[in-house]
Amino acid sequence: MNIAIIGYGKMGREIERSALERGHNVSLKISSKNTHEFTFNNLKNIDVAIEFTSPELAVNNINICIESNTPVVVGTTGWYDKFNEISTRVSENNGTLLYATNCSIGVNLFFKLNKQLAQLMNKHKEYDIKMEETHHVQKLDAPSGTAITLAEGILSNNEEKDLWVKGGSKAQNQLSVVSHRIENVPGTHQVNYTSAIDDIEIKHTAHNRKGFAIGAVIAAEYIADKKGIFTMEDVLFD
Ligand SMILES: NC(=O)c1ccc[n+]([C@@H]2O[C@H](COP(=O)([O-])OP(=O)(O)OC[C@H]3O[C@@H](n4cnc5c(N)ncnc54)[C@H](OP(=O)(O)O)[C@@H]3O)[C@@H](O)[C@H]2O)c1
C-alpha cells in the first residue's frame, strides 16, 4: 500500500517504521513544516492516510481525507465532540474512516476484558470502582481518550456507576478517573475494584509506542478496500 502519514511526530515516525516493516510505502509525510503539501493532488495515489496530530487539527485533516476520497485511520484523540459532523461527512462522501482512542492490539483486548469484568462485578456491590491513567508530560488531553473508552465501557456494563468524573469523587454513582503526567511514560491504564476484604485490579502498560503504530498500520490494511466507519473492534473481532 501507499500510505500518507498526517502528523509526522512521535507516533508518525513510529508508524513509518512499522509500515515499512510490513512492506508498505510511505510516500507523503506531513508535519507543521510542510502543510502546503497536504493537497488533493498529493493524495491521489495514496491508498490510506494515517492521522496522528492533535485534537484541534484532526477534524480539518479528516475532512481533507474524506473529501479527497482517501480512507483515513485517525489515532488522534480529543476531537470526538465533532464526531457527528464527521460521521455525516463520511456518509455524504461514501468515505472511509477508522477511529481509535488506542490502536494497540493489547489495549483493545483490555477494552473487551474491562467490559466483561464490569458486567461480572454487577452482582458484587461491595466493590467500589476507580480508574487511573498515566502518560508522558507532553500529552495534551486528560483523561486520555483510552481512559474515556474504558470509563464508557464500565458505565455501559455496570449498574452502580452512571457518570465518569475527572479526578477523585466519593459519590457512589460516579466513576473517578485520575490522570497522572510523568516524563517518558507511553501510556498506563488501570481499573481498580476495591472492597474492605480485597482488591481486584486490571492494568495495561504500554512499554513503548510500537504497539500503537503496528495497530494503526494493521487498521490501515483493514480499511483500504472498505467503505464506512470502523473501530479497532472491527479489525480485531470481525
Ligand atoms: N490512538 C492511539 O493509539 C494513540 C497512541 C498514541 C498517541 N495518540 C494520539 O496521537 C496524537 C499525536 O501524538 P504524538 O505523540 O505523535 O504527538 P506529536 O509528537 O506532538 O506529533 C504531532 C505531529 O503533528 C504535526 N503537525 C502540527 N501541525 C500539523 C498540521 N497542520 N498538519 C499535519 N501535521 C501537523 C506536528 O508537526 P511538528 O513536528 O512540525 O510540530 C507533529 O509532528 C495525540 O492526539 C495523541 O493523544 C493516539
pLDDT tens-digit series, residues 62-102: 999 999 999 999 999 999 999 999 999 999 999 999 999 89
End-to-end, the C-alpha distance of the chain in Å comes to 21
- CATH H superfamily, domain 105-205: Dihydrodipicolinate Reductase; domain 2 (3.30.360.10)
What residues does each domain of the chain span? 2-103+210-237, 105-205
Q: What is the distance in A from the centroid of ligand 1 to the CA of 234? A: 24
pLDDT of amino acid 26: 98
Catalytic residues: 135, 139
pLDDT of amino acid 140: 84
The domain over range 2-103+210-237 is classified in CATH as 3.90.79.10? no
pLDDT of amino acid 169: 85
Ligand 1: list residues with CB < 6 Å: 6-12, 30-33, 35, 52-54, 57, 75-78, 100-104, 139, 212
Going by alpha carbons, the residue nearest to atom 27 of ligand 1 is 32
> How far lies 23's CA from each of 40, 48, 161, 209, 211, in Å?
25, 14, 45, 19, 17
Q: Which of 5, 6, 8, 11 to mutate to test the pocket of ligand 1 (most atoms within 8 A of CB)?
A: 11
Q: What average pLDDT is seen over the chain?
A: 96
What's the CA dihedral at 234, 236, 237, 238 to 10 degrees?
50
Choice between 140 and 231, residue whose per-residue pLDDT is larger: 231
Express each pLDDT in 100-123 by its tens digit: 989 999 999 999 999 999 999 999
How is residue 237 written as a grid cell?
Answer: 473481532
Express each pLDDT in 159-214 by its tens digit: 989 999 999 888 999 999 999 999 999 999 999 999 999 999 999 999 999 999 99
Does 231 have pLDDT greater than 90?
Answer: yes
